[in-house]
A and B are shown apart, each in its own frame.
Chain A
Amino acid sequence: AQSVAQPEDQVNVAEGNPLTVKCTYSVSGNPYLFWYVQYPNRGLQFLLKYITGDNLVKGSYGFEAEFNKSQTSFHLKKPSALVSDSALYFCAVRDELGNFNKFYFGSGTKLNVKP
């Protein structure tokens, strides 16, 4: 069955330090992976995606994510966190072999960046 896990409910980091938000997935075929960010009382905004090719994907606002097939992970990273990065982050996957119109979301990770 398809699923996404975000093992940390919350991640705390100091401004200027690197950040990592973790995501692991389970799908039947090749995964199509996405990261979204949500600010309070807003919808989700797309940050980046992995489809195929380079394992390091670069996205919006200086975020990047590393795809690791053997560990079935797709961790979100940023070299230097900003206070304005504080938000809720969601990982999502589409399954190549499943109903590709269905997205499976993780439970979300709240990122707190302190000045």
Chain B
Amino acid sequence: DGGITQSPKYLFRKEGQNVTLSCEQNLNHDAMYWYRQDPGQGLRLIYYSQIVNDFQKGDIAEGYSVSREKKESFPLTVTSAQKNPTAFYLCASSIGQENQPQHFGDGTRLSIL
């Protein structure tokens, strides 16, 4: 079945450590996205990529970095510069047409040790 796979499901970060969240899709979608979700809040866009080797900052990019070397992969690194990283992180993808919805992975929950 086609879909989006996020791993790991749960992740713990120590102070001063960078961690990388994986996102892989086999839907052949051009666009991919990373969102952060905090309790009681909606989704905030961190980064998005419309094509391979290109990505744009979203609303809360500080302390995060991404790469898009392959169409199917869009990893997110949470750097030590992100002082409040505890959140639920969602990856999504969409075909490059405005009438199509996004497809979401099942998220990674990041906590601080």
Using an 8 Å CB-CB cutoff, how does the interface string of A83-114 with B read, 1 for contact, 0 for none? Answer: 00000001010101000111101111000000
B31, A101: Cβ atoms closer than 8 Å = yes
B96 proximal to A (CB < 8 A): yes
Say whether A105 contacts B107, CB under 8 Å.
no
Contact B105 A41 (CB under 8 A): no
Residues in A neighbouring B101, C-beta threshold 8 A: 34, 36, 46, 49, 92
Contact at B45–A43, with CB atoms within 8 Å?
A: no
Say yes or no: A100-B90 contact (C-beta < 8 A), given A43-B104, A43-B107, A105-B43: no
Instruction: Tally inter-chain residue pairs, CB-CB below 8 A.
Output: 57
Minimum CB–CB distance from A96 to chain B (whole Å) comes to 6
Q: Tell me, yes or no, whether B109 is within 8 Å of chain A by CB.
A: yes
Contacting residues, chain B, for A92 (C-beta < 8 A)? 101-102
How long is the Cα–Cα vector from A102 to B94 in the complex, in angstroms?
Answer: 10
Contacting residues, chain A, for B106 (C-beta < 8 A):
41-43
Chain A residues, CB < 8 A from B104: 36, 43-45
Cβ contact within 8 Å between A43 and B90: yes
A14 interface contact, C-beta 8 A: no
Docked pose: A66 CA to B93 CA in angstroms: 26
Known contacts A41-B107, A43-B104; A94 and B42 CB within 8 A of each other: no
- Contact, CB under 8 Å: B45 / A51: no
From 9 to 60 in chain B, residues with beta carbon under 8 angstroms from any chain A beta carbon are 31, 33, 40-43, 45, 48, 50
A residues near B, CB below 8 A? 9, 32, 34, 36, 41-46, 49, 51, 90, 92, 94, 96, 100-103, 105-108
Given contacts A36-B101, A101-B94, 7 further A-B contacts (CB under 8 A): A36-B104, A44-B92, A44-B104, A49-B101, A90-B43, A102-B45, A102-B48
Interface residues of B (CB under 8 A from A): 4, 6, 31, 33, 40-43, 45, 48, 50, 88, 90, 92, 94, 96, 98-99, 101-107, 109
